[in-house]
Amino acid sequence: MQSYQTNHPDQPTNAQWASHINALIKTPLKSVPFDQSEDNKLTYIESFADEFGNRRATDQPFLTYLFNLKPTSIPSIPSPTLDLQLWWLLLSESPSIEQIGSVIEPTDALIPGSDKLAIELRTMIELCSLHALWIHATRFNSNALIERCLDAAAWHTRELQPDNAINRPWATQVFINLAHQATDKDTSDLAHLHAQTLIHNTSISFGAPDILSALILYDVAHQLI
């Protein structure tokens, strides 16, 4: 993970954010087989559903990435959403920066034509896409992709609320890094508040992060260290 200097020393450091997140998710993740065999991990992925029995198309590639597994195959999906495209690209043999750039908008919102989507769906796909895009950016150590992520995060703070009924902390690490890096104090403060709200909202339903949110935050914390 690339190291980032903060322009705002009054804010929590990445290490402090990670420590807070790890304390929050310790109990929800106690039965997740991070240190178990590959077979146990695969079984967990195949049977995964949230507390309401829901399973999303992005759960499989996200969890496969999270457990550091290689997929047996990349499925052919008709008209995949942007988040699904970016997650499966992470698991492909040799994704290119050109491939990634070809599926996202060059500025502001990542999703082409996203203003036609319902606000909750738009927010979910945008944030889930941004989370995956940040991983691509840091793997390539691409300043251009990192800046694109920060641009998208800044657009989010201006245009979309962090709690549009999704309560999922996708891309929290991007908002934290934007809060550190923004030279404009208003942008920094909005990004910091966005990150705080994304984390806080994960505990609204159960008093602690739900299982999917806890898994997302697990990845967020690892990307901040």
For the residues 96-124, what does the mean pLDDT come to? Answer: 93
Residue 7 domain flag = no
Give the span between the Cα atoms of 207 and 170, in whole angstroms: 19
Give the span between the Cα atoms of 25 and 194, in whole angstroms: 19
Residue 3 domain flag = no
Residue 5 domain flag = no
Cβ proximity of 153 and 190 under 8 Å: no
Residue 125 domain flag = yes
pLDDT in tens, 126-161: 999 999 999 999 999 999 999 999 999 999 999 887
**How confident is the model at residue 147, as a pLDDT?**
98
Residue 8 domain flag = no
Residue 151 domain flag = yes
pLDDT in tens, 9-53: 789 999 999 999 999 999 999 999 999 999 999 999 999 999 999
Task: Say how many domains are in the chain.
Answer: 1
**How confident is the model at residue 3, as a pLDDT?**
41
Residue 113 domain flag = yes
Domain residues for the domain of 219 are: 14-224
Residue 24 domain flag = yes
User: Taking the CA atoms of the chain, what radius of gyration do you get in angstroms?
Assistant: 17
Give the span between the Cα atoms of 25 and 216, in whole angstroms: 10
pTM (2 d.p.): 0.95
